[in-house]
């Protein structure tokens, strides 16, 4: 990694030809043309202004990648543009009443540490979302969810800087158009806004949501009839640690595929052939299939080839122990998708954002 004189008066320290291998949890060894870390909104706005000027002078686009913890992206090649590493920190209590508290966190705050801080401070609602890697600013991008809770349930608003103009915009929950592992920032507004802070409304009284089967089972084995938020948080962390590979040991990006939605008719047809198929009825009549079950049933669990593979405890997680290239990993993903389509007639969609140039 080299630091050079910033081209054309870049307002912040710009690194050139940077190895991103340590900055993405799949440990994909891709390089970025430029990388800059921003720690406040002014710095971010000035950097975006510099990029616009650069594009104007050079008469070509300088692609942009906003990087949080790098835990939900796949770099399928080197990145020929500017990576902005989100380093805006800060935690603030904006207001409190008898039942709730309004809190704001900077986009660069570590998500898990933020959850831990909230639980320890007696601000409840995020316990089920403990131990999710990454940053606060990335959490709304796919409306992170786990153990029956999604970010949406306590989301109040976010502030973001518009890439094209540098203006600061506030989004409330409806403007974010949250869905299952989805938001407007993965759809129409993809790459158009950089999230600089997130505001949440949390409960001051325990609001324990422990009905997710794996949680229920764990807590009943512990003998915790009425778990406290702290116990719930610890249970979530313990279950995750026992089942999911730690990216620091085995590079991965969590679930590689979304759980697919099928019609109830298709689900019944599948169940005639596969009596133990796992599906969860959704509002609107569709059924959410457990993609991990499909991949496991197709025989991929524990599979490994050329440094990439499928985790042996959770088939939904692709792993990259050999620090192979993103394109190598995507080849494996494509073979799994083709196989699942052929066997079950079900289309799997990749969950992390794939960057291809
Ligand atoms: P990155 O990977 O850095 O970025 C992801 C995408 O968001 C990129 O397109 C990036 O450009 C964009 N982005 C990031 N920050 C910003 C910003 N401030 N403004 C605008 N765009 C931005 N996800 C879940 O939902 N539930 C889980 O339970 C879960 N478990 C996981 C477990 C493991 C072991 C791993 C490795 C991943 C897991 N994930 C889970 C996926 C991932 O951790 C989350 O999606 C997380 O929110 C990504 O945060 P990040 O900062 O690493 O984002
Ligand atoms: P699990 O408990 O083995 O369950 C497998 C799948 O079945 C999950 O994907 C889950 O869907 C679904 N499911 C289970 N019980 C359900 C219920 N009562 N109602 C609706 N759907 C149900 O899952 P796991 O792999 O150990 O993960 C536990 C939680 O952490 C899940 O919520 C999962 O999404 C989350 N997680 C997410 C990632 C990621 O990268 N996105 C990575 C690891 C874990 P949902 O996924 O919709 O909950």
DSSP string of 134-148?
A: SBTTTTTTTT-EETT
The residue nearest atom 7 of ligand 2, judged by CA position, is 290
Average pLDDT over residues 53-60: 94
Query: What does the pLDDT read at residue 7?
Result: 56
Cα dihedral 52, 54, 58, 60 in deg (nearest 10): -40
Instruction: Please tell me whether residues 123 and 54 are part of one structural domain.
Output: no
CATH number for the domain spanning 184: value is 3.30.465.10
Same domain, yes or no, for 61 and 97? no
Backbone angles phi, psi at 233, to 5 degrees: -60, -45
In this structure, is residue 242 part of a structural domain?
no
Can you give the CATH number for the domain in which 270 is found? 3.90.78.10
C-alpha 146/C-alpha 80 separation (Å) is 34
Same domain, 102 and 51: no
Of 110 and 4, the structure prediction assigns the larger pLDDT to 110
Residue 240 domain-assigned? Answer: no
Rounded to the nearest 5 percent, the helix, strand and coil shares of the chain are 30, 30, 40
pLDDT tens, position by position, 158-178: 999 999 999 999 999 999 999
* Interaxial angle between packed helices 213-222 and 229-243, expressed in degrees from 0 to 180 and rounded to the nearest 10: 110
Based on the fold, state whether residues 8 and 70 are members of the same structural domain.
yes
Residues 30 and 98 occupy one common structural domain: no
223 Cα: distance to centroid of ligand 1 (angstroms) = 34
Q: Pick from 55, 86, 117: which residue ends a domain?
A: 86
**Is residue 79 in some structural domain?**
yes
Q: Are 262 and 334 in the same domain?
A: yes
Tell me, yes or no, whether 112 and 69 share the same domain.
no
Atom of ligand 2 nearest to the CA of 259: 9
Closest-CA residue, ligand 2 atom 41, reads: 255
Q: Are residues 70 and 119 in the same domain?
A: no
Ligand 2 cavity residues, CB under 6 Å: 145-147, 212-214, 243-244, 254-255, 259, 280, 290, 292, 314, 316, 351
| Domain assignment present for 298 | yes
Q: Which two tokens stand for residue 242?
A: 């026992």
| Alpha-carbon dihedral angle through residues 148, 150, 156, 161, given to the nearest 10 degrees | 170
In a domain, 101, yes or no: yes
> Within a domain: residue 216?
no
pLDDT at 4: 45
Task: Judge whether residue 324 has pLDDT over 50.
Answer: yes
Show the ligand 1 pocket: residues with CB < 6 angstroms. Answer: 25, 65-73, 86, 107, 132-135, 137-139, 141-142, 144-146, 181, 194-195, 244, 247, 252-254, 353
- pLDDT confidence of residue 247: 97
Same domain membership, residue 82 and residue 100: no
Instruction: Using the mean position of ligand 1's atoms as its centre, give its distance from the Cα of residue 108 in Å.
Output: 12
- Write down the pTM of the prediction: 0.96
Q: Residue 9: is its pLDDT beyond 70?
A: no
Q: How far is the CA of 42 from the centre of ligand 2 (A)?
A: 39
Residue 228 lies in a domain: no
Residue 6 has pLDDT above 80, yes or no: no
Structurally, how many domains does the chain consist of?
3
Residue 11: pLDDT band with limits 50, 70, 90: confident
Q: Which helix (H) or strand (E) holds 239?
A: helix 229-243
Tens of pLDDT, residues 243-286: 999 999 999 999 999 999 999 999 999 999 999 999 999 988 99
Output the residue whose Cα is nearest ligand 2's atom 8: 290
Average pLDDT over residues 169-188: 97
Q: What is the mean pLDDT of the chain?
A: 95
Residue 227 in any domain: the answer is no
Range of the domain at 305: 252-355
Distance 216 CA to ligand 2 centre (A): 14
């Amino acid at each position: 990694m080299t630091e050079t004189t910033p081209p054309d008066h870049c307002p912040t320290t710009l690194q050139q030809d940077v190895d991103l291998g340590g900055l993405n949890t799949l440990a994909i060894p891709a390089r970025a043309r430029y990388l800059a870390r921003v720690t406040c909104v002014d710095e971010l706005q000035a950097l975006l202004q510099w990029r616009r000027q650069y594009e104007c002078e050079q008469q070509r686009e300088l692609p942009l990648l906003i990087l949080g913890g790098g835990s939900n992206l796949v770099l399928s090649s080197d990145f020929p543009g500017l990576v902005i590493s989100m380093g805006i920190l800060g935690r603030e209590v904006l207001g409190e009443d008898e039942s709730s508290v309004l809190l704001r966190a900077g986009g660069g705050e570590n998500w898990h540490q933020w959850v831990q801080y909230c639980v320890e401070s007696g601000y409840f609602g995020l316990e089920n979302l403990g131990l999710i890697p990454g940053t606060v600013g990335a959490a709304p991008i796919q409306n992170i969810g786990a153990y029956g809770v999604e970010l949406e349930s306590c989301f109040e608003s976010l502030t973001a800087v518009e890439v094209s103009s540098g203006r600061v915009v506030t989004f409330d929950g409806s403007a974010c158009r949250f869905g299952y592992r989805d938001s407007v920032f993965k759809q129409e507004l993809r790459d158009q806004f950089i999230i600089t802070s997130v505001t949440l409304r949390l409960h001051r009284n325990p609001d324990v949501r422990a009905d997710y089967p794996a949680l229920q089972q764990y807590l009943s084995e512990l003998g915790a009839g009425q778990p406290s938020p702290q116990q719930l948080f610890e249970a979530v962390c313990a279950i995750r640690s026992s089942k999911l590979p730690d990216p620091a040991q085995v590079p991965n990006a969590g679930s590689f595929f979304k759980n697919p939605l099928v019609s109830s008719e298709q689900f019944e047809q599948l169940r005639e052939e596969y009596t133990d198929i796992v599906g969860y009825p959704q509002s609107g009549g569709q059924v959410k299939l457990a993609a991990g079950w499909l991949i496991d049933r197709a025989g991929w669990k524990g599979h490994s080839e050329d440094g990439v593979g499928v985790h042996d405890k959770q088939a939904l997680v692709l792993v990259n122990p050999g620090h192979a290239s993103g394109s190598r990993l995507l080849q494996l993903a494509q073979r799994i998708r083709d196989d699942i389509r052929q066997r079950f007639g079900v289309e799997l969609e990749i969950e992390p954002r794939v960057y291809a140039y």
